[in-house]
Amino acid sequence: MNSKEFLSELASACGMSQAETGAKVKALASVMAGKLENETSIVIPNFGTFEVKKKLERVFVNPTTKQKMLVPPKLVVGFKVATALKDKLNV
Amino acid sequence: MDSKIAMSDLVKFFCQQEKLTIKEGDAFVRAFFETLERCLLQEKVVKVKDLGTFKVVDVADRESVDVNTGERIRIQGHGKITFTPDTELKDKVNRPFAAFETIILSELTNLDDMTRLPEGVQDEEDDDEAGMEMTKVPEVPVVPETPESPEVPETPEIPEAPETPEIPETPETPEVPEIPETPEIPEIPEAPETPEIPEIPETPEQPSIPATPKKSEEKSEHVQWWYFLFFAFVLGMMLLSYFVGYYRLLCPCVVENTELIEKPVEKAKKDTAQAQPKDTLKVAPAAPAPKKAAAPAKEYAQVPGGKYTIVGTRGEHKMQVGDNLYKIARKEYGDRNMAQYIIVHNQFKNPDVIPLGYMVKLPELKANE
Protein backbone atom coordinates (compact mmCIF):
# COMPACT_ATOMS: atom_id res chain seq x y z
CA MET A 1 0.00 0.00 0.00
CA ASN A 2 1.53 3.28 -0.95
CA SER A 3 1.21 6.64 0.68
CA LYS A 4 -1.75 7.78 -1.41
CA GLU A 5 -3.83 4.72 -0.66
CA PHE A 6 -3.03 5.03 3.01
CA LEU A 7 -4.09 8.68 2.94
CA SER A 8 -7.42 7.87 1.35
CA GLU A 9 -8.02 5.20 3.98
CA LEU A 10 -7.19 7.63 6.73
CA ALA A 11 -9.30 10.39 5.17
CA SER A 12 -12.34 8.16 5.06
CA ALA A 13 -11.72 7.06 8.64
CA CYS A 14 -11.50 10.65 9.87
CA GLY A 15 -14.12 12.06 7.56
CA MET A 16 -11.80 14.69 6.14
CA SER A 17 -10.66 15.56 2.65
CA GLN A 18 -7.55 13.86 1.36
CA ALA A 19 -5.60 17.11 1.00
CA GLU A 20 -6.38 18.04 4.59
CA THR A 21 -5.35 14.63 5.81
CA GLY A 22 -2.15 14.80 3.80
CA ALA A 23 -1.23 18.11 5.41
CA LYS A 24 -1.92 16.77 8.88
CA VAL A 25 0.05 13.59 8.30
CA LYS A 26 2.94 15.70 7.13
CA ALA A 27 2.69 17.86 10.25
CA LEU A 28 2.55 14.81 12.48
CA ALA A 29 5.54 13.29 10.77
CA SER A 30 7.51 16.49 11.18
CA VAL A 31 6.64 16.64 14.89
CA MET A 32 7.77 13.06 15.28
CA ALA A 33 10.95 13.73 13.33
CA GLY A 34 11.66 16.75 15.51
CA LYS A 35 11.27 14.64 18.64
CA LEU A 36 13.41 11.86 17.27
CA GLU A 37 16.07 14.35 16.29
CA ASN A 38 16.43 15.20 19.98
CA GLU A 39 16.85 11.49 20.65
CA THR A 40 13.50 11.25 22.34
CA SER A 41 11.66 7.94 22.08
CA ILE A 42 8.00 8.04 21.12
CA VAL A 43 5.83 5.41 22.71
CA ILE A 44 2.54 4.66 20.96
CA PRO A 45 0.42 2.33 23.05
CA ASN A 46 -0.67 -0.86 21.32
CA PHE A 47 1.42 0.00 18.31
CA GLY A 48 5.07 0.30 19.18
CA THR A 49 7.99 2.54 20.10
CA PHE A 50 10.04 4.75 17.83
CA GLU A 51 13.50 5.35 19.18
CA VAL A 52 16.92 6.54 18.11
CA LYS A 53 19.81 4.16 18.40
CA LYS A 54 23.47 4.97 18.24
CA LYS A 55 25.56 2.66 16.10
CA LEU A 56 29.29 2.57 16.67
CA GLU A 57 31.76 2.76 13.88
CA ARG A 58 32.93 -0.56 12.52
CA VAL A 59 35.17 -2.08 9.92
CA PHE A 60 33.36 -3.57 7.01
CA VAL A 61 34.96 -5.85 4.43
CA ASN A 62 33.56 -5.92 0.96
CA PRO A 63 33.07 -9.64 0.34
CA THR A 64 33.92 -9.54 -3.35
CA THR A 65 36.86 -7.13 -3.41
CA LYS A 66 38.05 -7.85 0.17
CA GLN A 67 38.42 -4.14 0.57
CA LYS A 68 38.31 -2.93 4.14
CA MET A 69 36.22 0.08 4.90
CA LEU A 70 35.62 2.04 8.05
CA VAL A 71 31.93 2.71 8.41
CA PRO A 72 31.34 5.82 10.49
CA PRO A 73 29.14 5.89 13.59
CA LYS A 74 25.55 6.85 13.01
CA LEU A 75 22.21 7.45 14.59
CA VAL A 76 19.33 5.41 13.24
CA VAL A 77 15.63 5.33 13.90
CA GLY A 78 14.42 2.05 15.27
CA PHE A 79 10.92 0.76 15.76
CA LYS A 80 9.96 -1.81 18.34
CA VAL A 81 6.61 -3.44 17.87
CA ALA A 82 4.31 -3.48 20.86
CA THR A 83 3.42 -6.91 22.16
CA ALA A 84 -0.25 -6.28 21.56
CA LEU A 85 0.27 -5.71 17.87
CA LYS A 86 2.60 -8.67 17.63
CA ASP A 87 -0.03 -10.91 19.14
CA LYS A 88 -2.61 -9.58 16.72
CA LEU A 89 -0.28 -10.38 13.87
CA ASN A 90 0.26 -13.98 14.97
CA VAL A 91 -3.23 -15.01 15.80
CA MET B 1 18.37 12.59 25.58
CA ASP B 2 16.97 9.27 26.67
CA SER B 3 13.62 10.69 27.55
CA LYS B 4 10.43 9.11 26.43
CA ILE B 5 7.22 10.70 25.41
CA ALA B 6 3.88 9.01 25.29
CA MET B 7 1.20 9.49 22.70
CA SER B 8 -0.50 12.19 24.77
CA ASP B 9 2.69 14.30 24.64
CA LEU B 10 2.94 13.71 20.94
CA VAL B 11 -0.65 14.90 20.58
CA LYS B 12 0.13 17.99 22.62
CA PHE B 13 3.08 18.97 20.42
CA PHE B 14 1.10 18.15 17.30
CA CYS B 15 -1.76 20.37 18.42
CA GLN B 16 0.60 23.21 19.26
CA GLN B 17 2.03 23.10 15.79
CA GLU B 18 -1.26 22.70 13.97
CA LYS B 19 -3.23 24.97 16.29
CA LEU B 20 -5.87 22.33 16.97
CA THR B 21 -7.69 21.55 20.15
CA ILE B 22 -6.35 18.61 22.10
CA LYS B 23 -9.48 16.66 21.37
CA GLU B 24 -9.22 17.05 17.61
CA GLY B 25 -5.52 16.30 17.63
CA ASP B 26 -5.97 13.25 19.80
CA ALA B 27 -8.68 11.94 17.54
CA PHE B 28 -6.52 12.40 14.50
CA VAL B 29 -3.41 10.81 15.95
CA ARG B 30 -5.43 7.88 17.23
CA ALA B 31 -7.08 7.48 13.85
CA PHE B 32 -3.69 7.69 12.19
CA PHE B 33 -2.16 4.83 14.15
CA GLU B 34 -5.32 2.73 14.07
CA THR B 35 -5.55 3.05 10.32
CA LEU B 36 -1.86 2.30 10.06
CA GLU B 37 -2.31 -0.85 12.10
CA ARG B 38 -5.36 -1.95 10.17
CA CYS B 39 -3.73 -1.37 6.80
CA LEU B 40 -0.60 -3.13 7.96
CA LEU B 41 -2.51 -6.22 8.97
CA GLN B 42 -4.41 -6.19 5.69
CA GLU B 43 -1.82 -5.17 3.18
CA LYS B 44 1.51 -6.26 4.71
CA VAL B 45 3.20 -3.11 3.42
CA VAL B 46 2.28 0.46 4.26
CA LYS B 47 4.22 3.41 3.08
CA VAL B 48 3.71 6.74 4.83
CA LYS B 49 5.27 9.72 3.24
CA ASP B 50 7.77 11.66 5.41
CA LEU B 51 7.84 8.86 7.97
CA GLY B 52 8.82 5.59 6.37
CA THR B 53 7.67 2.15 5.39
CA PHE B 54 6.12 -0.42 7.68
CA LYS B 55 6.32 -3.98 6.53
CA VAL B 56 5.14 -7.32 7.76
CA VAL B 57 7.75 -9.97 7.14
CA ASP B 58 6.98 -13.64 7.50
CA VAL B 59 9.55 -15.65 9.35
CA ALA B 60 9.67 -19.33 8.46
CA ASP B 61 9.74 -22.13 11.02
CA ARG B 62 13.14 -23.03 12.24
CA GLU B 63 14.81 -25.53 14.47
CA SER B 64 16.64 -24.48 17.53
CA VAL B 65 17.98 -25.87 20.76
CA ASP B 66 16.60 -25.03 24.14
CA VAL B 67 19.40 -23.27 25.94
CA ASN B 68 18.57 -24.72 29.32
CA THR B 69 17.62 -28.31 28.53
CA GLY B 70 19.55 -28.86 25.30
CA GLU B 71 16.44 -30.28 23.60
CA ARG B 72 15.74 -29.60 20.00
CA ILE B 73 12.77 -27.37 19.68
CA ARG B 74 10.89 -25.92 16.78
CA ILE B 75 10.26 -22.23 16.64
CA GLN B 76 7.01 -21.54 14.90
CA GLY B 77 6.99 -19.27 11.89
CA HIS B 78 5.57 -15.88 12.67
CA GLY B 79 5.06 -12.44 11.26
CA LYS B 80 7.42 -9.63 12.14
CA ILE B 81 6.92 -5.92 11.65
CA THR B 82 9.80 -3.88 10.36
CA PHE B 83 10.09 -0.16 9.90
CA THR B 84 12.40 1.52 7.42
CA PRO B 85 12.65 5.26 7.97
CA ASP B 86 12.23 7.62 5.10
CA THR B 87 15.51 9.04 3.76
CA GLU B 88 14.52 12.47 4.96
CA LEU B 89 13.85 11.26 8.48
CA LYS B 90 16.99 9.17 8.48
CA ASP B 91 19.15 12.11 7.46
CA LYS B 92 17.49 14.38 9.96
CA VAL B 93 18.15 12.02 12.84
CA ASN B 94 21.67 11.29 11.70
CA ARG B 95 22.54 14.95 11.32
CA PRO B 96 25.11 15.05 14.17
CA PHE B 97 27.12 12.37 12.38
CA ALA B 98 26.38 13.48 8.85
CA ALA B 99 29.90 14.78 8.36
CA PHE B 100 31.41 11.31 8.58
CA GLU B 101 31.96 9.28 5.49
CA THR B 102 32.93 5.72 4.87
CA ILE B 103 36.68 5.53 4.54
CA ILE B 104 38.47 2.93 2.50
CA LEU B 105 41.27 1.52 4.60
CA SER B 106 44.62 0.70 3.12
CA GLU B 107 46.10 -2.78 3.34
CA LEU B 108 48.66 -1.79 5.93
CA THR B 109 46.23 -0.45 8.48
CA ASN B 110 46.64 -2.32 11.69
CA LEU B 111 43.26 -3.30 13.02
CA ASP B 112 44.36 -5.38 15.97
CA ASP B 113 43.30 -2.99 18.62
CA MET B 114 40.01 -2.36 16.90
CA THR B 115 38.83 -5.91 16.56
CA ARG B 116 37.41 -6.13 20.02
CA LEU B 117 35.23 -3.09 19.65
CA PRO B 118 33.41 -3.98 16.44
CA GLU B 119 32.75 -7.48 17.70
CA GLY B 120 30.93 -6.11 20.69
CA VAL B 121 28.92 -3.91 18.41
CA GLN B 122 28.27 -6.76 16.08
CA ASP B 123 26.09 -8.58 18.57
CA GLU B 124 23.99 -5.56 19.17
CA GLU B 125 23.61 -4.96 15.50
CA ASP B 126 22.66 -8.53 14.78
CA ASP B 127 19.83 -8.19 17.25
CA ASP B 128 18.71 -5.09 15.53
CA GLU B 129 18.93 -6.61 12.11
CA ALA B 130 16.81 -9.49 13.27
CA GLY B 131 14.15 -7.08 14.43
CA MET B 132 14.11 -4.66 11.55
CA GLU B 133 15.86 -4.11 8.29
CA MET B 134 17.02 -0.61 8.58
CA THR B 135 20.59 -0.21 7.49
CA LYS B 136 21.05 -0.90 3.85
CA VAL B 137 24.73 -1.63 4.20
CA PRO B 138 25.21 -5.39 3.89
CA GLU B 139 26.39 -6.94 7.09
CA VAL B 140 29.67 -8.72 6.93
CA PRO B 141 31.29 -10.03 10.08
CA VAL B 142 34.51 -8.36 11.04
CA VAL B 143 35.80 -11.57 12.56
CA PRO B 144 37.91 -12.78 9.55
CA GLU B 145 40.57 -10.26 10.40
CA THR B 146 41.30 -11.54 13.85
CA PRO B 147 43.36 -14.63 12.93
CA GLU B 148 46.12 -12.34 11.70
CA SER B 149 46.58 -10.53 14.96
CA PRO B 150 48.43 -13.16 17.03
CA GLU B 151 51.31 -13.11 14.56
CA VAL B 152 52.31 -9.59 15.22
CA PRO B 153 54.18 -9.92 18.49
CA GLU B 154 56.13 -13.07 17.66
CA THR B 155 58.07 -12.02 14.58
CA PRO B 156 60.89 -9.80 15.82
CA GLU B 157 63.58 -11.82 14.03
CA ILE B 158 62.37 -11.30 10.53
CA PRO B 159 64.08 -8.04 9.56
CA GLU B 160 67.49 -9.44 10.43
CA ALA B 161 67.32 -12.11 7.77
CA PRO B 162 65.56 -10.64 4.83
CA GLU B 163 67.40 -12.51 2.09
CA THR B 164 67.50 -16.06 3.38
CA PRO B 165 67.52 -18.20 0.28
CA GLU B 166 67.34 -21.61 1.99
CA ILE B 167 63.93 -21.23 3.46
CA PRO B 168 61.37 -23.02 1.37
CA GLU B 169 58.20 -21.41 2.76
CA THR B 170 59.10 -17.90 1.69
CA PRO B 171 60.66 -18.18 -1.73
CA GLU B 172 60.44 -14.65 -3.13
CA THR B 173 58.56 -12.35 -0.83
CA PRO B 174 61.30 -11.33 1.62
CA GLU B 175 63.22 -9.50 -1.09
CA VAL B 176 60.50 -7.03 -1.68
CA PRO B 177 60.92 -4.98 1.48
CA GLU B 178 64.67 -5.29 1.11
CA ILE B 179 64.94 -3.30 -2.08
CA PRO B 180 63.89 0.16 -0.92
CA GLU B 181 66.09 -0.05 2.15
CA THR B 182 69.40 -1.13 0.64
CA PRO B 183 70.78 2.37 0.14
CA GLU B 184 70.86 2.81 3.90
CA ILE B 185 73.00 -0.20 4.63
CA PRO B 186 76.42 1.40 3.96
CA GLU B 187 75.65 4.04 6.59
CA ILE B 188 74.58 1.64 9.24
CA PRO B 189 77.97 0.34 10.45
CA GLU B 190 78.81 3.88 11.59
CA ALA B 191 75.97 4.00 14.05
CA PRO B 192 77.19 3.18 17.53
CA GLU B 193 73.70 2.83 18.98
CA THR B 194 72.48 0.10 16.67
CA PRO B 195 74.78 -2.80 17.21
CA GLU B 196 72.46 -5.44 15.77
CA ILE B 197 72.60 -4.11 12.25
CA PRO B 198 76.11 -5.24 11.26
CA GLU B 199 74.74 -8.76 11.32
CA ILE B 200 73.06 -8.21 8.01
CA PRO B 201 75.82 -9.60 5.78
CA GLU B 202 75.76 -12.84 7.78
CA THR B 203 72.07 -13.39 7.31
CA PRO B 204 72.32 -16.44 5.03
CA GLU B 205 73.48 -18.47 8.02
CA GLN B 206 70.49 -17.61 10.14
CA PRO B 207 67.82 -20.26 10.01
CA SER B 208 65.62 -18.53 12.55
CA ILE B 209 62.62 -17.47 10.52
CA PRO B 210 59.39 -18.76 11.93
CA ALA B 211 57.06 -20.21 9.32
CA THR B 212 54.68 -17.41 8.54
CA PRO B 213 51.66 -18.43 6.54
CA LYS B 214 50.60 -14.99 5.26
CA LYS B 215 52.98 -13.38 2.83
CA SER B 216 51.49 -9.94 2.85
CA GLU B 217 51.57 -9.85 6.62
CA GLU B 218 55.23 -10.80 6.58
CA LYS B 219 55.97 -8.20 4.00
CA SER B 220 54.44 -5.40 5.99
CA GLU B 221 56.23 -6.73 9.03
CA HIS B 222 59.55 -6.40 7.20
CA VAL B 223 58.80 -2.92 6.13
CA GLN B 224 57.87 -1.92 9.66
CA TRP B 225 61.10 -3.33 11.04
CA TRP B 226 63.20 -1.64 8.47
CA TYR B 227 61.53 1.64 9.20
CA PHE B 228 62.10 1.10 12.87
CA LEU B 229 65.80 0.36 12.42
CA PHE B 230 66.22 3.29 10.12
CA PHE B 231 64.64 5.65 12.61
CA ALA B 232 66.71 4.22 15.42
CA PHE B 233 69.79 4.84 13.34
CA VAL B 234 68.83 8.41 12.54
CA LEU B 235 68.01 9.02 16.18
CA GLY B 236 71.36 7.59 17.21
CA MET B 237 73.20 9.84 14.80
CA MET B 238 71.28 12.83 16.08
CA LEU B 239 72.15 12.00 19.68
CA LEU B 240 75.77 11.42 18.76
CA SER B 241 76.10 14.71 16.97
CA TYR B 242 74.37 16.45 19.84
CA PHE B 243 76.87 15.16 22.38
CA VAL B 244 79.78 15.80 20.06
CA GLY B 245 78.62 19.37 19.77
CA TYR B 246 77.85 19.71 23.44
CA TYR B 247 81.20 18.50 24.73
CA ARG B 248 83.05 20.02 21.77
CA LEU B 249 84.95 16.81 21.13
CA LEU B 250 86.20 18.14 17.82
CA CYS B 251 87.15 21.57 19.06
CA PRO B 252 90.56 21.92 20.76
CA CYS B 253 89.74 25.37 22.10
CA VAL B 254 87.51 23.98 24.73
CA VAL B 255 90.13 22.83 27.19
CA GLU B 256 91.65 26.23 27.54
CA ASN B 257 88.36 27.96 27.50
CA THR B 258 86.95 26.13 30.47
CA GLU B 259 89.81 27.23 32.65
CA LEU B 260 89.38 30.86 31.91
CA ILE B 261 88.95 33.37 34.63
CA GLU B 262 85.42 34.64 34.48
CA LYS B 263 85.84 38.28 33.76
CA PRO B 264 83.26 39.84 31.52
CA VAL B 265 84.59 40.50 28.04
CA GLU B 266 85.15 44.15 27.55
CA LYS B 267 84.29 45.82 24.35
CA ALA B 268 87.38 47.01 22.59
CA LYS B 269 87.82 50.68 22.08
CA LYS B 270 87.02 51.81 18.62
CA ASP B 271 89.35 54.71 18.22
CA THR B 272 92.51 52.68 18.42
CA ALA B 273 91.04 50.06 16.25
CA GLN B 274 91.33 50.92 12.59
CA ALA B 275 94.97 51.38 11.83
CA GLN B 276 96.66 48.98 14.16
CA PRO B 277 96.08 45.56 12.66
CA LYS B 278 98.00 46.58 9.59
CA ASP B 279 100.90 47.86 11.59
CA THR B 280 101.12 44.71 13.55
CA LEU B 281 101.22 42.75 10.37
CA LYS B 282 104.58 44.15 9.52
CA VAL B 283 105.96 43.99 12.97
CA ALA B 284 104.69 40.52 13.80
CA PRO B 285 107.56 38.15 14.29
CA ALA B 286 107.18 34.47 14.89
CA ALA B 287 109.03 34.81 18.14
CA PRO B 288 107.78 37.48 20.53
CA ALA B 289 110.07 40.29 21.52
CA PRO B 290 110.79 40.44 25.23
CA LYS B 291 109.97 44.10 25.88
CA LYS B 292 108.99 43.94 29.48
CA ALA B 293 110.16 42.09 32.46
CA ALA B 294 108.42 38.99 33.71
CA ALA B 295 106.93 40.86 36.64
CA PRO B 296 103.88 42.44 34.94
CA ALA B 297 102.95 39.09 33.38
CA LYS B 298 100.86 38.31 36.44
CA GLU B 299 98.25 40.88 35.46
CA TYR B 300 97.19 38.84 32.50
CA ALA B 301 95.46 35.52 32.34
CA GLN B 302 97.92 32.83 31.34
CA VAL B 303 97.67 29.64 29.42
CA PRO B 304 98.35 26.90 31.96
CA GLY B 305 101.41 24.94 31.03
CA GLY B 306 102.00 27.11 27.95
CA LYS B 307 105.40 27.72 26.46
CA TYR B 308 104.84 31.44 26.38
CA THR B 309 103.77 34.00 28.92
CA ILE B 310 101.41 36.78 28.02
CA VAL B 311 103.07 40.03 28.97
CA GLY B 312 100.88 42.64 27.30
CA THR B 313 98.73 43.58 24.40
CA ARG B 314 100.55 43.97 21.19
CA GLY B 315 97.70 45.13 19.02
CA GLU B 316 94.18 44.50 17.95
CA HIS B 317 92.50 42.77 15.07
CA LYS B 318 89.02 43.57 13.84
CA MET B 319 86.93 40.48 13.13
CA GLN B 320 85.78 40.32 9.52
CA VAL B 321 83.71 37.92 7.51
CA GLY B 322 85.61 34.63 7.18
CA ASP B 323 88.00 35.35 10.04
CA ASN B 324 88.64 32.89 12.78
CA LEU B 325 91.09 32.74 15.59
CA TYR B 326 93.27 30.08 13.95
CA LYS B 327 93.60 32.23 10.91
CA ILE B 328 94.54 35.25 12.95
CA ALA B 329 97.03 33.25 15.01
CA ARG B 330 98.67 31.89 11.91
CA LYS B 331 98.91 35.32 10.36
CA GLU B 332 100.14 37.10 13.47
CA TYR B 333 102.31 34.45 15.12
CA GLY B 334 102.94 32.03 12.28
CA ASP B 335 101.30 29.14 14.15
CA ARG B 336 97.63 28.27 14.35
CA ASN B 337 98.09 26.75 17.80
CA MET B 338 98.76 30.20 19.19
CA ALA B 339 95.03 30.75 19.00
CA GLN B 340 94.74 29.59 22.58
CA TYR B 341 96.82 32.56 23.74
CA ILE B 342 94.46 34.89 21.91
CA ILE B 343 91.49 33.16 23.48
CA VAL B 344 92.94 33.37 26.97
CA HIS B 345 94.00 36.96 26.51
CA ASN B 346 90.61 38.06 25.31
CA GLN B 347 88.84 35.85 27.82
CA PHE B 348 86.34 34.59 25.31
CA LYS B 349 83.56 32.60 26.88
CA ASN B 350 82.71 31.06 23.53
CA PRO B 351 85.60 31.31 21.11
CA ASP B 352 83.47 29.84 18.34
CA VAL B 353 81.20 32.83 18.22
CA ILE B 354 82.85 36.22 17.98
CA PRO B 355 80.75 39.07 16.66
CA LEU B 356 81.76 40.76 13.42
CA GLY B 357 83.77 43.89 13.97
CA TYR B 358 84.90 42.82 17.43
CA MET B 359 88.38 44.04 18.23
CA VAL B 360 90.42 41.00 19.17
CA LYS B 361 93.33 41.86 21.42
CA LEU B 362 96.56 40.29 20.29
CA PRO B 363 98.75 39.27 23.23
CA GLU B 364 102.41 40.11 23.52
CA LEU B 365 104.17 36.85 24.22
CA LYS B 366 107.36 35.99 25.95
CA ALA B 367 108.94 32.59 25.77
CA ASN B 368 109.30 30.76 29.06
CA GLU B 369 112.73 29.51 29.97
pLDDT tens digit sequence for B245-266: 888 776 655 444 444 444 444 4
> What residues does each domain of chain B span?
1-43, 155-247, 253-367
Q: Is B74 a residue whose pLDDT tops 80?
A: yes
Q: Which residue type occupies B194?
A: T
The pLDDT of residue B301: 77
Of the listed ranges A50-54, B70-74, B233-237, B353-357, the one predicted with least confidence: B353-357
CB contact under 8 A, B48 and A73: no
The pLDDT of residue B218: 60
Signed CA dihedral, B183, B188, B194, B198: sign only: positive
pLDDT band at B338 (very low <50, low <70, confident <90, very high): confident
- Mean pLDDT within B121-129: 42
The pLDDT of residue B191: 42
Nearest chain B Cα distance for residue A82, angstroms = 10
Q: How many residues does chain A have?
A: 91
Question: A55 in helix, strand or coil?
Answer: strand
pLDDT band at B231 (very low <50, low <70, confident <90, very high): very high
Instruction: For residue B358, give the nearest of B319, B315, B314 by alpha carbon.
Output: B319
A38 close to A50: Cβ distance less than 8 angstroms: no
Set out the domains of chain A in order of their start, with CATH numbers: 1-38 (no CATH), 40-91 (4.10.520.10)
Q: Is B96 a residue whose pLDDT tops 80?
A: yes
- Mean pLDDT within A14-40: 86
Q: Which residues of B318-344 are buried (b: 16+ CB within 10 A; e: fewer)?
A: bbeeebebbebbeebbeebebbbbbbb
Q: Is B129 a residue whose pLDDT tops 50?
A: no
Q: How many residues does chain B have?
A: 369
CB contact under 8 A, A68 and B81: no
Nearest chain B Cα distance for residue A83, angstroms = 11
| Strand B103-104 relative to strand A48-55, pairing | unpaired
- Mean pLDDT within B301-315: 80
pLDDT band at B113 (very low <50, low <70, confident <90, very high): low
Distance CA B213, CA A37 (A): 49
B35 close to B64: Cβ distance less than 8 angstroms: no
The pLDDT of residue B230: 94
Q: Which of A1, A51, A91 to mutate to test the interface with B (most CBs of B within 10 A)?
A: A1
- Residue with the bigger pLDDT between B253 and B135: it is B253
Q: Which of B23, B97, B111 to mutate to test the interface with A (most CBs of A within 10 A)?
A: B97
pLDDT in tens, B175-230: 444 444 444 444 444 444 444 444 444 444 444 444 444 445 566 778 889 999 99
- Which residue of B28, B49, B114 is in closest CB contact with A59? B114
pLDDT in tens, A55-69: 888 888 888 988 888
pLDDT band at A6 (very low <50, low <70, confident <90, very high): confident
